[in-house]
Amino acid sequence: MTDRRDIPYRFEPTATAAQLHAAHGDLAAGESSGVQATVAGRLMLRRVQGRLCFGTIDDASGVRIQLFAPAAATPDYEEFCGLSIGDWVGASGEVMKTRRGELSVQVGDWRLLAEARRPFPDKWHGMADTDTRYRQRYVDLWVSPGTREAFEIRSAAVAAIRAELAARGFTEVETPMLHPIPGGAAARPFVTHHNALDCDFYLRVAPELYLKRLIVGGLTHVFELGRIFRNEGLSPRHSPEFTMLELYQAYADYTDMMVLIEELSAAAATAATGGTELEVGERGLDLAPRWRRATMAEVVSEFIGRDLPVTGEPDSPAAADLRREADRLEVATEAGWSAGRILAEIYERRVESEIWDPTFVCDFPVEVSPLARRHRHSDGLAERFEAVAAGRELANAFTELADPDEQRSRFAAQEHRRRGGDSEAMTTDEDYLRALAYGLPPTGGLGLGIDRLVMLLCGTETIRDVVLFPTLRPTAGGGEP
């Protein structure tokens, strides 16, 4: 005789709930299929009615299926009725529809697969406390509608991006996460220590400088899709660890990167949601190419309502003009900032969040773009853009700066800012300069925030909804008793 409480070492379902609904959904109410099936999942609902018991299990296949257990046919019926909501159960029997037309497996045999020793949340209200949802995601995934879906969207989007890049001949690589010199982005790093080498390392803030070393090394199409770490504030749009697609393509420039971002984003949206038209909050958004291209000067001028100067030394009339606008918009500036720096500040603080439809904001001031090549036509600007949608930055890209001498002077300018108290300014990476000295061909590169893209696909306002285990302050002992 089977001990139903004896957990088996192995269990073999023959069908998922989704498969059974697809194969037998057209059975008439009260009809039996004659087909045997074994299903397994978590018991989400249970209705005992005297000599009949109905259970609803969720097997994560997207739909639930009912277990129909008549006392006369179900072994250990009393014990079956005693199963708790949240228990994992496997059941075998004929696929049938009840008189009320609910597709079910009539339980001819069953096993307990795991006991829920802690009670599951309310079957109707679910889990409302965000703290508990994030800390106990293993419960949230079962009881909160949409949680699992968000991570399926995320998985589909990432898979689509990898497939698109493979089809274009890109090589996926993995570069160090432990960096002796933090580089590739203006951000404060996490610091850690290696005992055997007795030296500090920084968790990477960007893989950029390593990936460009690979272009020097002849890997002409490379990308890395992985976690990066920035020791900065948390917000609905910022997580200390987040996922970035970073990509470099030899012989390409930033206009090629625009096309690539459009195509990758549209492919990810289509794979994950079935189309490029999305709903974010109350508003619609379409990721289909072709996205708007506008210069930073244009979008800021539009916002303010008149043409603005773009470049100028700190003491120029252009800088004074922009400073007046910044003051009027209550954007703080510092003495010694060039016109471009002020323009970029106004853009970041006031304009970016107002841009809704997907837009490439192009031609950043060169002084805020230390790794981007100077614009081929416009003095004082760099061939750099950010992709913006729904008021949020999605991606950052440029035509890469390849000249080692100019790169050295750009690093020097960053060092100067660092000495001035800017803790996010870059430090000089001598080995990177050496790599450039071996020759970096014309190259386009991009960094695309995967979490931000998935947020658009899910229509959510908070990054924690697309991160399985968001960073939270640890609790004593790692959890409640």
Task: For residue 315, report the phi and psi dihedrals to the nearest 5 degrees.
Answer: -100, 15
Among 232, 286, 321, 415, binds RNA (CB under 7 A): 232
Contact set for RNA, span 425-454 (CB under 7 A): 449, 451-452
Spatial distance between the Cα atoms of 2 and 76, rounded to a whole number of angstroms: 9
Q: Where are the beta strands (DSSP E) in 18-102?
A: 32-49, 52-58, 64-70, 88-97
Among 235, 305, 376, 419, binds RNA (CB under 7 A): 235
Find the length of the chain: 481
Please report whether residue 327 would count as binding RNA according to CB under 7 A: no
Among 76, 256, 393, 415, binds RNA (CB under 7 A): 393
Pairing assessment for the beta strands 359-362 and 384-389 based on DSSP bridges: antiparallel
Nearer to RNA, 216 or 265 (CB): 265
* Closest CB 105 distance from RNA, rounded Å: 12
Nearer to RNA, 194 or 238 (CB): 238
Contact set for RNA, span 337-356 (CB under 7 A): 348-349
* Closest CB 355 distance from RNA, rounded Å: 12
Please report whether residue 359 would count as binding RNA according to CB under 7 A: no
Please report whether residue 307 would count as binding RNA according to CB under 7 A: no
Which residues, 6+ apart, have CB-to-CB distance to 442 below 8 Å? 250, 251, 252, 253, 399, 400, 402
- Is residue 161 a contact partner of residue 224, using CB atoms and an 8 Å limit? no
* Closest CB 242 distance from RNA, rounded Å: 4
Spatial distance between the Cα atoms of 61 and 38, rounded to a whole number of angstroms: 14
Nearer to RNA, 130 or 220 (CB): 130
Spatial distance between the Cα atoms of 211 and 176, rounded to a whole number of angstroms: 10
Spatial distance between the Cα atoms of 33 and 68, rounded to a whole number of angstroms: 14
Nearer to RNA, 250 or 413 (CB): 413
Closest by alpha carbon to 191, among 206, 175, 180?
180
* Closest CB 472 distance from RNA, rounded Å: 4
Contact set for RNA, span 59-78 (CB under 7 A): 66, 68, 70-72
Binding mask 122-151 for RNA (x = CB under 7 A): xxxxxxxxxxx-x-----------------
Distances (CA, A) of 307 to 95, 301, 365: 71, 5, 17
Nearer to RNA, 319 or 426 (CB): 426
Closest by alpha carbon to 425, among 240, 182, 242?
182
The interface region with RNA, picked from 49-57, 256-264, 316-324, 412-420 by CB under 7 A, is 49-57
Nearer to RNA, 9 or 124 (CB): 124
Among 5, 8, 11, 100, binds RNA (CB under 7 A): 100
Nearer to RNA, 86 or 216 (CB): 86
Among 57, 107, 185, 440, binds RNA (CB under 7 A): 185
Q: Is the dihedral of CA 129, 452, 212, 373 positive or negative?
A: negative
Which two tokens mark 218? 């002849």
Please report whether residue 186 would count as binding RNA according to CB under 7 A: yes
Other C-beta atoms within 10 Å of 288: how many? 14
Q: Where are the beta strands (DSSP E) in 330-442?
A: 359-362, 384-389, 392-399
* Closest CB 178 distance from RNA, rounded Å: 18
Among 21, 188, 221, 417, binds RNA (CB under 7 A): 188
Please report whether residue 56 would count as binding RNA according to CB under 7 A: yes
Please report whether residue 4 would count as binding RNA according to CB under 7 A: no
Among 196, 473, 477, 479, binds RNA (CB under 7 A): 473
Q: Which amino acid is at 258?
A: M
Please report whether residue 121 would count as binding RNA according to CB under 7 A: yes
Please report whether residue 238 would count as binding RNA according to CB under 7 A: yes
**Number of Cα atoms under 13 Å in the Cβ half of residue 118:** 6
Among 3, 26, 51, 427, binds RNA (CB under 7 A): 51
* Closest CB 158 distance from RNA, rounded Å: 16
Pairing assessment for the beta strands 292-295 and 88-97 based on DSSP bridges: unpaired
Contact set for RNA, span 246-305 (CB under 7 A): none
Nearer to RNA, 1 or 72 (CB): 72
* Closest CB 189 distance from RNA, rounded Å: 11
Size of interface with RNA, in residues (CB under 7 A)? 72
Other C-beta atoms within 10 Å of 103: how many? 23
Closest by alpha carbon to 467, among 218, 240, 171, 191?
240
Please report whether residue 424 would count as binding RNA according to CB under 7 A: yes
Nearer to RNA, 216 or 372 (CB): 372
Please report whether residue 419 would count as binding RNA according to CB under 7 A: no
* Closest CB 369 distance from RNA, rounded Å: 10
Furthest-apart CA atoms within the chain: distance in Å: 92
- Is residue 279 a contact partner of residue 285, using CB atoms and an 8 Å limit? yes
